[in-house]
Amino acid sequence: MRNKIVISFLMISSILLSSCSFNDNNIQHVEAEIIEEYPLINNSFVQGLEYDNDGTLLLSNGKYGDSELIRFKPGYQEISQKIDLDDKYFGEGLTVVNDKIYQLTWKENIVFVYDKNTFTKLVSHHLESEGWGICYHKNNLIVSDGSDKLQFFDNNDFDKVKEDLPVTYNGEKLKGLNELECVGDKIYANVLGDNNIYRIDITTGEIDLVVNTDKIDKSSYSDPNDVLNGIARVPESDDLIVTGKNWHSLYRIRI
Ligand SMILES: [Ca+2]
C-alpha cells in the first residue's frame, strides 16, 4: 500500500511539474488550458480588448480607414454598439474606467474618452508617445508604447503621476509591450510577435509568470501581422479571453 501511495504521489508530482515550472529567477512558466472557444467578429484587427461589467466585450480595432470601437457579446457575431474613427486615426488599446472608455491611437498622440453607455466622444487627451496598450489600476491609467516602459497617468487629467516603469524579464529589458490587462496588482501583457503572455509585477516591473499559449492552434493565422494581441479578464473569474489580429476565434483560457 505504501509503495502505491509513493508511486501515486510521484505521478501527481510529475504531472504538476510538467505543466508548471520555475526557472532560476523564480519566474513561473505555465501552459494555458483552453476552456472555451468563441467566434471573433469578422475582420477584427484587434488592438485592445476588455470586458465591461455587463458581460459584453469592448474591442478596439486598428488600421487606417477601418479603426473602430465596438461592443459585442462573446459567442455572437452581432455588434451591439460601434463608433468609427476618422480615417486618419489608427485605433489601439482600450480600457474602461467607471462610465468612461479610454481608447488609444497608435501614432496620432491622441487618447479618446467616450461615454461608456452611448459611445459619445467626451474629451481627448494628448499622449506624447505612441499608444499601444492601456489598462486601469487604482486611479492610474497604465500605457505601453511598444518599448519596455510603462507610463502612469492620472485618469482624471491624464497628467503623468510617476516615473516610467521599466519592465524586465530575467533582468533584461522586455521590449514590444503591447496589449495590457490589469488584474489586481499584476498586468498581463502581449509582446509584439510573441506567443507568450507575460505577467508583470506592477511595483517592480519584473515578469513573474510566463503563460505559454501553444495549445491554441495558430496554424491558420499565417500572415505575419496576424499575431496574438488582446487580453481581457473574464469578470468574477481568474480566466482570460485572448485573441489576435484577424483571428477567427476568441479563446477563454485558464492559467
Ligand atoms: Ca485588455
* Element spanning 6, H or E: helix 2-19
Q: Which residue has 506592477 as its cell numbers?
A: 202
The CA 38 to ligand 1 mean position distance, Å, reads 17
Reported as a single tens digit per residue, the pLDDT across 196-242 is 999 999 999 999 999 999 999 999 998 989 999 999 999 999 999 99
In the chain, pLDDT over 70 holds for what percent of residues?
91
12 — phi, psi (to 5°)? -65, -40
The CA 59 to ligand 1 mean position distance, Å, reads 9
The CA 45 to ligand 1 mean position distance, Å, reads 14
Neighbours of 98 (CB within 10 A): 7
The CA 87 to ligand 1 mean position distance, Å, reads 23
Q: For residues 115-133, b (16+ Cβ closer than 10 Å) or e, as one string?
A: ebeeeeeeebbebebbbbb
Give the global pTM.
0.90
The CA 229 to ligand 1 mean position distance, Å, reads 9
Reported as a single tens digit per residue, the pLDDT across 130-146 is 999 999 999 999 999 99
The CA 82 to ligand 1 mean position distance, Å, reads 18
Residue 216 grid coordinates = 491554441
